[in-house]
Structure 1
Amino acid sequence: MSEAMLSKVRKLLAQAEDPACTPAESAAFTAKATELIARYGVDRALLAARDPATDPVGDRVVEVVAPYARDKAGLLAAVAEPLRCRCVRRRHGSGFALHLFGFASDLERVDLLFTSLLVQAAHGLAGAPVPAGAHPAAFRRSWLAGFAQVVAGRLRAAEAVAAADPGTPSVALVLADRSDRVRRRLAEAYPRLRTAPPRRLAGTGFGSGAEAGRRADLGGRGVSTGPGSRPGIGH
């Protein structure tokens, strides 16, 4: 992402976090930051349609570690899919390694948002008391599931708005072609891929996590992509 775009996103999120802002003003700043991230994805897609070398299809492996590694992997998948990336989850020690496929600009957006959302989820869980009688781990897993589901819906909505530019009718075709190319790249790497069965969670934290997902900033601040840089979610 360009420094100019990242600077705009950071400024909007700083305004959204200002205690002097009303809830409505804060929501407006956050929505604008999300819009910029989505618009950037469309702009890069259109540029690459003219010059493919500017945004090649690629892949990367992201490791997520315990605790709650499977739930963090679910959050990463919830971010990747709306941003036109695909991922394959593999066991890796006590955690998981997720093999992501996508165009370079979309992988960049996934990394940006996932890093930020992990921090926000950790803060949200720290402030979400476990109800009396509830199993703490089950509550937190269902909380994270609710958080991830709402975040994915918000990202899909932002991407749809960005793609619906009446002045550029070719956007839908360009994005469909990109999605198809990513699917083909994944199929080449994993020709016998199987879909995992749906997960069943018994915890009572889904609603609380979903509400936190509705409040989450989707502009992606504080990015660090070095080894071991991704913040964990505590016990």
Structure 2
Amino acid sequence: MTSVRERIRAVLAGAIDYESGLDALAVARSTEVDPELVAVKDEACARLWRGGWQPAELHRVVARRGQPRQADLVTDAVAGYLRQFPAGTVDPRWRAQAEFLGAQVWWSSDARYLDELAARWRLDRVAVLDLVLGLLVILSTLPPIEVLLPPPGSPVPGDRPDAAGSSRVDARLLDRVRALLAKAESTTFPAEAETYTAKAQELATRHSLDEALLAARCADPAPVVPYARRIGVDHPHEKEKASLLDVVARANRCHTVSSPELAFSTVFGFDTDIEAVDLLYTSLLVQAHRAMARAEPPGGKAGRRRLKAFRQSFLVAFTVRIDERLTEAAQLALAQVTGPGEGTGRADPADLLPVLAARDEQIRDTMRRVFPHTVRARGSRVDSREGWESGRQAADRATLPTDTGRHS
């Protein structure tokens, strides 16, 4: 007699078709099916978390490939998984992602989980079995990825300078940057958004250069090595969004590798710079979408193709213009630090530039180790002139780089 677990494995291996497997589970005793199905789900999630996946990443890719409720099943799996580990063995960043997802054990027991889930979602039993089995199919296709955060159960340093040994990011600075970007996103006046965003970029850039200056002047600097973070890139227009992320990363002395099939890009750099990339990219997306919504032509069936071309062209133009401005900002910030004048913030280019070059080579070495084989992405087409022009105008209003000297 075939066991429940064997039936599940046969579906995942393609030995029997999905509908036949689902029917077999639906007619079997729930007391036999439910514990095994829940256990296989939890084991699959645990395998992926040990294989480098983080809670937010797994939730995002399941929501992308499946249904929102299947992503909710991942959230529940996070809560159940964390029950096994003392708080001291869970990295704070891993736990923060679980809290952001709202992961809590709401069910009375694992044995009754599927029954209580059906009642909670007002679904019949077959629909719940379909959701869980479908989730298992998605999870079975996901490969292990680079471990960037220690999974629960791993030793967690009591005083973490950084997950890879790099310097601690100034929390007060990040709070100031977040506050400025929040104001830029909330205002309806483009000039105010320009000022707030430009000041945020200025703070982030100067802090990063100050960190490099300290390393250049220190006779026996502490070991500082590059780090990496995966940032979600959601659909639609994933390619254009990944390009925007790459532009922001390069302006902040980072490098990216896009994994579109897994719905994220990996950003390589030092902690200070990665934090700036994450914050600025998120804010720029908010500003771009808001400007695009104001400028886009009417949709409807007749205009759907025109609207799609407009949005794609808008994001391409927005990214190209932001790239120009961020490049100018980086050059300006460097000139201000290394130019003639007096003050503790000034540096001899002969001291600072080699440090920046060495840090960049460290980042590239780390990236090559994680991704030894990469393919350069092709550029996006521009099929809408009005989208292109609107995107450049929106990027001009964002004015990240060139105003850093004026908004002080």
- Describe how 1:34-53 pairs up with structure 2 within 5 A: 34-49=201-216, 50=218, 51-53=221-223
Render the CA deviation track for 1:134-187: whole Å, top value 9, x for unaligned.
Answer: 711111011011111121222222211222223302222221111111111111
Alpha-carbon distance, 1:98 to partner? 0.7
Alpha-carbon distance, 1:34 to partner? 2.8
Please identify which structure carries the higher helix content.
2
Alpha-carbon distance, 1:125 to partner? 1.1
- Describe how 1:52-91 pairs up with structure 2 within 5 A: 52-53=222-223, 55-91=224-260
Query: Retained in 1: the 8 A contact 2:194–2:400?
Result: no
Does residue 143 of the first structure (1) align with residue 314 of the second (2)? yes
Counterpart-to-counterpart distance in 2, 1:91 and 1:18: 32
- Code of the residue aligned with 2:309 in structure 1: it is A
Counterpart-to-counterpart distance in 2, 1:199 and 1:15: 28
Q: Match of 1:199?
A: 380
- Code of the residue aligned with 2:210 in structure 1: it is D
When residues 6 and 89 of structure 1 are mapped into structure 2, their CA distance, relative to the original with a 3 A threshold, is closer
Counterpart-to-counterpart distance in 2, 1:207 and 1:157: 21
Q: Match of 1:182?
A: 363
- Describe how 1:9-24 pairs up with structure 2 within 5 A: 9=177, 10=179, 14=183, 23=191
Higher relative CO (Cα under 8 Å, sequence separation at least 6) belongs to 1
- Code of the residue aligned with 1:5 in structure 2: it is L
Give me the identity figure in percent: 35
Q: Give the counterpart of 2:395 among 188, 213, 216.
A: 213
- Code of the residue aligned with 1:179 in structure 2: it is D
Counterpart-to-counterpart distance in 2, 1:138 and 1:89: 23
Name structure 2 gaps, 5 residues minimum.
Answer: 1-168, 340-345, 402-408
**Structure 2 residue matching 1:201: 3-state secondary structure:** coil
Query: Retained in 2: the 8 A contact 1:13–1:33?
Result: no
Query: Retained in 1: the 8 A contact 2:238–2:260?
Result: no
Q: Match of 2:288?
A: 121
Counterpart-to-counterpart distance in 2, 1:197 and 1:16: 31
How many residues were matched structurally?
A: 214
Alpha-carbon distance, 1:30 to partner? 4.9
**Structure 2 residue matching 1:81: 3-state secondary structure:** helix
Alpha-carbon distance, 1:5 to partner? 2.9
Query: Retained in 1: the 8 A contact 2:185–2:287?
Result: no
Alpha-carbon distance, 1:6 to partner? 4.1
Q: Give the counterpart of 1:2 among 170, 178, 183.
A: 170
TM-score by length of 1: 0.77
Query: Retained in 2: the 8 A contact 1:113–1:218?
Result: no
Counterpart-to-counterpart distance in 1, 2:393 and 2:355: 34
Q: RMSD of aligned C-alpha atoms?
A: 3.0
Alpha-carbon distance, 1:100 to partner? 1.4
- Code of the residue aligned with 1:108 in structure 2: it is E
**Structure 2 residue matching 1:78: 3-state secondary structure:** helix
When residues 61 and 150 of structure 1 are mapped into structure 2, their CA distance, relative to the original with a 3 A threshold, is same
**Structure 1 residue matching 2:376: 3-state secondary structure:** coil
Query: Retained in 1: the 8 A contact 2:229–2:268?
Result: yes
Alpha-carbon distance, 1:31 to partner? 3.8
Counterpart-to-counterpart distance in 1, 2:185 and 2:310: 29
Render the CA deviation track for 1:68-105: whole Å, top value 9, x for unaligned.
Answer: 22221111111111111111111325xx3211111111
Query: Retained in 1: the 8 A contact 2:180–2:196?
Result: no
When residues 16 and 160 of structure 1 are mapped into structure 2, their CA distance, relative to the original with a 3 A threshold, is same
Alpha-carbon distance, 1:33 to partner? 3.6
Single out whichever of 142-151 and 192-201 deviates more from structure 2. 192-201
**Structure 2 residue matching 1:60: 3-state secondary structure:** strand
Q: Match of 1:168?
A: 347
- Code of the residue aligned with 1:106 in structure 2: it is D
**Structure 2 residue matching 1:142: 3-state secondary structure:** helix
Alpha-carbon distance, 1:35 to partner? 2.0
Q: Give the counterpart of 1:153 among 308, 316, 324.
A: 324
When residues 3 and 101 of structure 1 are mapped into structure 2, their CA distance, relative to the original with a 3 A threshold, is closer
Query: Computing the radius of gyration over CA atoms, which structure comes out larger, 1 or 2?
Result: 2
